[in-house]
Amino acid sequence: MTKILAFSGSTRRNSYNQAVVECAAQAAKDAGAEVTVINLADYAMPIFNEDEEAEYGIPERAQAFKQLMIEHDGILIASPEYNSSYPAVLKNAIDWASRKAGDEPVLAAYKQKVVGLMAASPGALGGMRVLVVLRMLMQNLSCIVAPAQVAVGNVADKLDESGAISDEKTKKQLANLAKQVVDLATKLKSE
Ligand SMILES: Cc1cc2nc3c(=O)[nH]c(=O)nc-3n(C[C@H](O)[C@H](O)[C@H](O)COP(=O)(O)O)c2cc1C
């Protein structure tokens, strides 16, 4: 079965982006995938420093995060836009996961992985600028980034009382993206 990992680029409690990725994760399940949803808050890792990596190796939480990426066929990421770009916590996790340990192949967490990108913001544009740089970053790491993407603007108005995405149009957009990721990852896996 096609395996999809889902996480957001936010460690904030009640993160909008975590709500968005959880909605997409449910849609990926509905599209037939086995889905693992994680929160980067459970994968706290130090700011990457090459000297410390050389001395102590890859920290346990960073290796655990990378291992999850390696074990899944596709990745759903919903990222906040911080000053037009991705938050440091997301880039730091991506950097750690790019580091090779033992006999792992180079970029094992990224090669042949299908990625679906989302952003959410209380602002009107939904963080659409972060999608541009995140797409470039993931493609440069050898991921196959799905053509579809979703920026959820005015996200605070699109939640129910439990904090889940309830806006029907947004749910449909997220479902279309999730299905595209699952279908692409399934095709790639069968080759
Ligand atoms: C340092 C910082 C920079 C931000 N820059 C932007 C921005 O460029 N565009 C935007 O739409 N929102 C920006 N925001 C607001 C975030 O969209 C908002 O905090 C959002 O709730 C973060 O996502 P989350 O709820 O998933 O944590 C910024 C917030 C912070 C803390």
Tell me the pLDDT of the chain (191 aa) as tens digits.
999 999 999 999 999 999 999 999 999 999 999 999 999 999 999 999 999 999 999 999 999 999 999 999 999 999 999 999 999 999 999 999 999 999 999 999 999 999 999 999 999 999 999 999 999 999 999 999 999 999 999 999 999 999 999 999 999 999 999 999 999 999 999 98
Task: Please say whether the beta carbons of 124 and 156 come within 8 A.
Answer: no
Residue 16 CA to ligand 1 center (angstroms) comes to: 10
Cβ–ligand 1 distance for 83 under 6 Å, the answer yes
Cβ–ligand 1 distance for 121 under 6 Å, the answer yes
Q: Give the DSSP letter of residue 165.
A: B
Residue ID of nearest Cα to ligand 1 atom 16: 121
- By most ligand atoms within 8 Å of CB, the mutation choice from 16, 22, 82, 165 for ligand 1 is 82
Residue 66 CA to ligand 1 center (angstroms) comes to: 25
- Cα end-to-end distance, the chain, whole Å: 14
Architecture of domain 3-190: 3-Layer(aba) Sandwich (3.40)
Task: Please say whether the beta carbons of 54 and 103 come within 8 A.
Answer: no
Cβ–ligand 1 distance for 9 under 6 Å, the answer no
Residue identified by tokens 């994968």 is 43
- CA torsion angle for 38, 168, 122, 92 (degrees, to 10)? 20
Residue 11 is predicted with a pLDDT of: 98
Residue 41 is predicted with a pLDDT of: 98
Task: Please say whether the beta carbons of 121 and 81 come within 8 A.
Answer: yes
Residue ID of nearest Cα to ligand 1 atom 20: 121
Cβ–ligand 1 distance for 123 under 6 Å, the answer yes
Residue 48 is predicted with a pLDDT of: 98
55 contact partners, CB below 8 Å, separation of at least 6: none
Q: How many C-beta atoms lie closer than 10 Å to residue 181's C-beta? A: 31
Residue ID of nearest Cα to ligand 1 atom 6: 82
Domains of the chain by residue range: 3-190
- Supply 152's token pair: 């959820």
